[in-house]
Amino acid sequence: MVNNSPAVRIDGLRVRRGKSMVLDGFGLELPRGGVTGLLGPSGSGKTTLMRAIVGVQTIAGGTVTVLGEPAGSAALRHRVGYVTQASSVYDDLTVRQNLRYFARVLGAPAADVDRVLAETDLESHADALAGSLSGGQLSRASLAAALLGSPELLVLDEPTVGLDPVLRVDLWALFRRLAEGGVTLLVSSHVMDEATRCDRLLLLREGRLLADDSPAGLMRATGTTDAEDAFLALIRSGVSL
């Protein structure tokens, strides 16, 4: 039963930040497996939605169920990996020291550190201080930490921002490999050309879901040839699909 539950199920989610409601009665269901892209302009509520799924966001109402458990419950802390926009690793530790610490917190085997170093292509920088890494290396170090313990759901907030095109291709290849291994990935981006690499797209604007479709389905429905045009077409039409 638990295994048949969707990866994420959200009903009537309401989140207030400051005086404004960022999400007001938001609903969503994500099946298990595959890479889902969460796209939308900045300020559209992507990060808030991801934080609610991980269970670190104070919510004003509604339910968020992740892998059959309430979001943020203790049982999920081993099963959900989260990468924030900020790199959230310790600048004054080496990459390996960072990963060793997070592995010990997770209770993951020590060999996991070498595995995630290899997966994120950071082996040659393992003994460099995180503070001395380039932006792209730092975000990969942060991603490596989230891969420890092989979580079933990975929530990645703009993991490819600031990366050069080669690294972005490598990372998307890694996401694809993880998805083939049965991991569910939710990846936010505001780079629309990354949309076509996803199995499924969620377009978010001002806290509302404009579209929830496959990339091909989205372009067919809007009569466009790329995700950016599709997004613009949806905004102009003012209707949700």
Return residues touching another protein (CB under 8 A): 16-17, 54-59, 72, 74, 77-78, 80, 82, 84, 86-93, 97, 101-102, 104-107, 129, 145
Least distance to another protein, CB of residue 27, Å: 20
Cβ closer to another protein: 159 or 215?
159
Residues 6+ apart with CB under 8 A from 166: none
Nearer to another protein by C-beta: 97 or 224? Answer: 97
Distance (Å, rounded) from C-alpha 215 to C-alpha 195?
7
Measured CA to CA in angstroms, residue 235 lies from 10, 49, 72, 239, 240 at distances of 23, 20, 33, 7, 9
Angstrom distance (rounded) from CA 24 to CA 29: 16
For another protein, the closer of residues 125 and 200 by Cβ is 125
To the nearest whole angstrom, how small is the minimum distance from the Cβ of residue 133 to another protein? 14
Based on CB atoms, which residue is closest to another protein, 35 or 99?
99
Q: CB of residue 16 vs another protein: minimum separation in angstroms?
A: 8
DSSP code of residue 31 = -
Using DSSP's 3-state secondary structure scheme, residue 107 falls into coil
Q: Which two tokens stand for residue 88?
A: 């959230």
- Counting every residue, how long is the chain? 241
CB of 102 to another protein, least distance (A): 7
| Helix axes of 165-180 and 135-147: crossing angle, nearest 10 degrees | 10
CB 41 within 8 A of CB 190: yes
As measured in angstroms, the least distance from the Cβ of 236 to another protein is 33
Between 80 and 174, CB nearer to another protein: 80
